Amino acid sequence: MAHVSDLIATDIEAYLHQHERKGLLRFITCGSVDDGKSTVIGRLLYESKMLFEDQVAAIEADSKKFGTQGGEIDFALLVDGLAAEREQGITIDVAYRFFSTDRRKFIVADTPGHEQYTRNMITGASTADAAVILIDARKGVLTQTRRHSYLVSLIGIRNVVLAINKMDLVDFSEATFRAIEADYRAFAARIGLEHITAIPLSGLRGDNMVERSTRTPWYQGPTLMEFLETTEVDEDRLQAEPFRLPVQWVNRPNLDFRGYCGVVTAGVVRPGDRIRVVPSGRESVVTRLVTPAGDVNEAVAGQSVTVTLADEVDISRGDVIATADAPPEVADQFECTVVWMADEPLLPGRPYLLKIGARTVSATVTDAKYKVNVNTMEHLATKALALNEIGVCNIAIDRPIAFDPYKANKDTGGFILIDRMTNNTVGAGMIHFALRRSHNIHLQHLDIDKQARARLKGQHPVVLWFTGLSGAGKSTIANLVEKKLHALGRHSYLLDGDNVRHGLNKDLGFTEGDRVENIRRVAEVAKLMVDAGLIVLTAFISPFRSERAMARTLLGENEFIEIHVDTPLDVAESRDVKGLYKKARRGELRNFTGIDSPYEPPETPDLRVNTVETTPEQAADLVIEKLRSLGLLEA
């Protein structure tokens, strides 16, 4: 093991103090499959004497069982811990290892090379200060090399090692090394990567890992370990930036103390500094900086701290405390880059949750502007993003938030997108700037509101959202319900799927993206009609739960009644009043719900009507009865 020091025996306190004050570098290894990422990390630990004797014995035993290096040690097994990784000889998940030298502490994330695991690579890179991009000297720059390099540039990693590995397999050829370096630098210049250090390596043999190799006398640069020990981290740059503290928790242990806890993501703060709370805009003065070790005179970027203020200011989780003269921007619409990480595509109009810092808000991609071809950097027109695609989108959220452009601050400019139904992380994003419309368009106050209009009509406005397969009977039942409401003197309107597509939505087709946009527009129209005091009936297949959930969120309590017109596919197909199922079965209609496009039935609808056992007239009566039971219609 390293760190053999006389201080351990003579003055353990001095030894621990010496190592506590060492800086930390987080870095990732990335690149294409089989370029030797895990081997390089394993060899680095071995050459640096960071392994215990029993670890070396274990890897020697594992190498005989799983290894790919004949009788020699397979260093990749040090970080490839999953059984599937060892069996296939690839990295699947991100593996983190901690180690330290006399000069610095390190956390390395070994990320997968396969395109299908791009999401894992993004996860590992999100907190990294440096990237080691591996290239197999026999293959040169590959598609995945470009993809990972582009992601590294997007995430804002400034220090990059171009590790040209397996030089032993090309006889340590300088010409090969220079050709790959030139090819990569030409690509890197196009994506904005500037600080690149190219190093010829042999992870298997240990050349230029810790000691300079005698087999590359033409190379005069640093070894990989020398680079990692001396490269600059972003701490100094972050401390020069304006102060930012996203509030994670309001600490109120007693009536005499109110502190705001979080990690300083940029800048320096001291007692007496004037601050502004964003997005509220209130200003105050810092009175104390509290840490577990007691009060301190300053807190810097990367430090966890509790801030107390001179004034009683309304601050909650997700707000940002910032320097008063350079606060973050506030907006509710942005242009941003999105890396899509889900099997289901990103669709404009579909609602997601957006988490930025400690704040989570509802978000919708309003426009997918283009996606990027990572090989050519070409911008390609698109209406959606598929798994592992990278694109530029406009996003709107349901309330203004504090933010900085991602290039200025990763923590207040980076976000994740979460699926509302599954709570899975489906995308990672980086904010470019706020859209001008977010500053120029404001809600206009109207004196006559929804309640006033409803009182005039003498009714409770509500949306009756009928969903079900084509041919289930939605329009028939909705039409009967409206006739009954009309007979009772109620003011209503029926939004029918076919009718809307003759006007408002005539520009939309039947792709998954168009269906999402179709329902988004209908939901917005229904919301306006409820605001006008009407009882609104909608008859749409509305095949996806997420869009129906989105429609519900637009309305208030007891203003959205989901009615599942439950008809089995074979029954709906046997009716086939419009002949659509026959066309779909003949392949003349694509993306037909129930045939080659999915339908997600409601899990807990407010009312389910079975049209096999119930006539349309009886189903309409059930809907009226439901309204009366909820107090939305007088008995």
pLDDT band at 1 (very low <50, low <70, confident <90, very high): very low
Are 360 and 353 spatial neighbours (Cβ–Cβ below 8 Å)? yes
What does the pLDDT look like over 390-403, one tens digit per residue? 999 999 998 899 99
For residue 455, the surrounding DSSP H or E stretch is helix 450-457
Euclidean distance between CA atoms 249 and 245, whole angstroms: 11
Helix (H), strand (E) at residue 554: none
pLDDT score of 407: 87
Greater model confidence, 92 or 431: 431
Residue type, 369: K
What pLDDT score does 151 carry? 86
Q: Which of 470, 475, 542, 546 is catalytic?
A: 542
Determine contact, residues 51/45, Cβ cutoff 8 Å: yes
pLDDT beyond 90 at 484: yes
Higher pLDDT, 603 or 635: 603
Could you give the CA distance from residue 121 to residue 112 in angstroms, rounded to a whole number? 6
Q: Which helix (H) or strand (E) holds 188?
A: helix 174-191
- Coil, helix or strand for 550? helix
- Dihedral angle of Cα 266, 268, 270, 276, to the nearest 10 degrees: -40
Distance of CA 538 to the CA centre of its chain: 33
pLDDT at position 77 is 66
The answer to whether residue 284 is catalytic is no
C-alpha torsion 47→48→50→52, nearest 10: 40
Instruction: Name the residue with tokens 């496009």.
Output: 597
How far is the C-alpha of 61 from the C-alpha of 55, rounded, in Å? 10
Average pLDDT for 38-58: 75
How far from chain centre, in Å, is Cα 554? 24
Residue 314 has pLDDT above 90, yes or no: no
What mean pLDDT is predicted for residues 238-261? 89
Structure confidence at residue 204 (pLDDT): 82
Most confident of 54-63, 75-84, 391-400: 391-400
CA dihedral 91, 93, 97, 103 (to 10 degrees): 80
* CA within 13 Å, CB half, 102: 7
Nearest to 362 by CA among 321, 322, 317, 401: 401
Q: In the chain, what percentage of residues exceed pLDDT 90?
A: 47
* Residues 179-208: tens digit of each pLDDT: 999 999 998 988 888 889 999 998 888 899
pLDDT surpassing 90 at residue 488: yes
DSSP H helices in 352-397: none
pLDDT reading at 477 higher than 90: yes
**3-state percent helix, strand, coil for the chain, nearest multiple of 5:** 30, 30, 40
pLDDT value at residue 468? 94
- Helix intervals (H) in 235-283: 235-239
pLDDT of residue 23: 78
Cis ω before 279 (30° cut-off from 0): yes
* Range in 72-81, 99-108, 151-160 the model is least confident about: 72-81
Where residue 3 falls (left for φ over 0; alpha for ψ -120 to 50; beta otherwise) is left
Where residue 483 falls among pLDDT bands split at 50, 70, 90?
very high
For residue range 121-132, list pLDDT tens digits in order. Answer: 777 777 888 999
pLDDT at 235: 67
The owner of tokens 């470009």 is 146
Q: What is the tens place of the pLDDT at every residue in 264-285?
A: 999 999 999 999 999 888 899 9
Confidence check: pLDDT of 148 > 70: yes
Instruction: Look at strands 23-31 and 379-380 and give their pairing.
Output: unpaired
Predicted confidence at residue 162, as pLDDT, reads 94
Q: Give the 3-state secondary structure of residue 535.
A: strand
